[in-house]
Chain A
Amino acid sequence: MEAPEQHNKSRVVKIDSVESWDFYFNQATNQGCPIVVHFTASWCIPSVTMNPYFKELASAFQDALFLTVDVDDVKEVATRMEVKAMPTFLLMKGGTVVEKLVGANPEEIRKRIDAVVQSNRVYVA
């Protein structure tokens, strides 16, 4: 039986450095695991309001890796991925970006994640 705390534990991994980013990116890619990234800024209300929902999505889609990147903390990654506005969501599979969503549209994000995860399952099978 799972301890109650497990349910509240966030599956979202906070990336705090370029090294951390490279590590998780490579690991997930090697494992054939889709990655969902939320680029956020602590001062940007549209992205901050998406944090709780992102945690929910992480719980709902256990087959994908969920990362959150603060564009001020890890500027290099934000620049590398050409993030110009927040929130920006990147869906990655097999080492490449398959979808880039700009803006906080909960329903649309969920649909896109679902599509990527589903297609991944079919491929693996």
Chain B
Amino acid sequence: MAVSGFEGFEKRLELHFFGDDNDPAVTTMGLRLLDFESLENVLRVVQCTVVSAVGNHFFDAYVLSESSLFVYPTKIIIKTCGTTQLLKSIRPLIHLAKNLGLTICGCRYTRGTFIFPKSQPFPHINFKQEVIYIEENLPNNLCFRKASVMPSKNPSYSWHVFSSSSDNGAHFSDGEFTVEVCMTELDRVLARKFFKTGGDSAAKEMTELTGIGNINPRALICDFVFDPCGYSMNGVNGDRYSTIHVTPEDGFSYASFEYVGSVYDDQDDIVETLKKAVQVFKPATVSVSTTSHRREVWTRVAHAMEPLGLKCRSFAMDEFPTAGTVVFQTFTAARRK
């Protein structure tokens, strides 16, 4: 592992709001009414910018200089890597939402373990500092709160979760789940494909050549290639997003894959999606975190990893307000210990 380099591991923030359900503007557009300048101002505080964007009837998806932003009528998800100060977006977002008549009712913050924790700025020096900062910026109506560090057998791989809500148990979509996959030590040959080779249409070609376009053929992909290397994409399929971010440099290579699915989907689809995504990178280590109210999801994860020669090394499970059950599993190549 290199002494220093770009931090691929992301910080992820998800904020839920509620407004007047009788107001059609809220139910159809809500946060999507936020103008672009306001969004850019918030991102400036976080220290990132928009590099590409797309929207459909359900949500807007932005590719950022440091990951992604998804804006739904009553939900916002921001995922940023590097040394961004993601938590600084909480206060301005709550304020902007209030101007639209929306009140925050849920907040969830998750991240893995940084490869270069000493390079992180305030308030991300450590998880304790992050939790204190979040709590200072959340209103009192979010009274159900829980913070937990979910371990694995390797101290370099833990999953940090903070979740809070105003109503324990309400506001969840039955059957819906989120899967966050973090991959390190990517196969060197496959990682080389994420270096810019010059010429036109670099992003589209990269999406096709690497097999990323094949993970979910139904999704519309908004992709971006960074100079001299690095890749990001947001996939849009109805009201569901998927997102991939790649830091291909040897010594600190990293790739993440996150997507939203439903337990009502074909169960084999979950397995196939995960398999295809992991096969793009053939990493030495994979950690998978699933957030769901149903157990079917995390049982599928091992089914996807085993055929790829990845053995489950750890399993941790915990319950969080509104989010439901978070299961954190780590996998490494079978020949390793």
Q: Which residues of A contact B (CB under 8 A)?
A: 41, 43-49, 84-87, 102-105, 108, 111-112, 115
Contacts and interface: CB of A to CB of B under 8 A. Distances in A.
Contacts of B61: 46
Given A86-B56, A87-B54, 11 more contacts: A44-B56, A45-B34, A45-B60, A46-B53, A49-B53, A85-B236, A103-B54, A104-B52, A105-B51, A105-B222, A108-B204
A45 B40 CA distance: 12
Nearest to B53: A46
18 contacts: A41-B55, A43-B32, A44-B55, A45-B34, A45-B35, A45-B55, A45-B60, A46-B54, A46-B55, A46-B62, A47-B55, A84-B236, A85-B54, A85-B56, A87-B54, A103-B54, A105-B222, A112-B200
B29 interface: yes
Nearest to B236: A85
Interface in B223-265: 223-224, 236
Interface string B169-206: 00000000000000000000000000000001101100
Interface of B: 29, 32, 34-36, 39, 51-56, 60-63, 200-201, 203-204, 220-224, 236
A51 B315 CA distance: 49
A104 B54 contact: yes
B29 A86 contact: no
A115 B204 CA distance: 15
B333 to A, nearest CB: 35
A111 B53 CA distance: 17
B84 to A, nearest CB: 21
Listed residue (A41, A46, A87) with the most chain B CB atoms within 10 angstroms of its CB = A46
Contact of A102 (B51, B62, B220): B220
A70 to B, nearest CB: 14
A58 B291 CA distance: 46
Q: Which 9 A-B pairs have the closest CB atoms?
A: A103-B222, A46-B53, A103-B54, A44-B55, A85-B56, A105-B52, A104-B53, A46-B55, A111-B200
Contacts of B39: 45
Contact of B203 (A49, A87, A105): A105
B54 to A, nearest CB: 4
A48 B32 CA distance: 12
A98 to B, nearest CB: 12
A87 B236 CA distance: 13
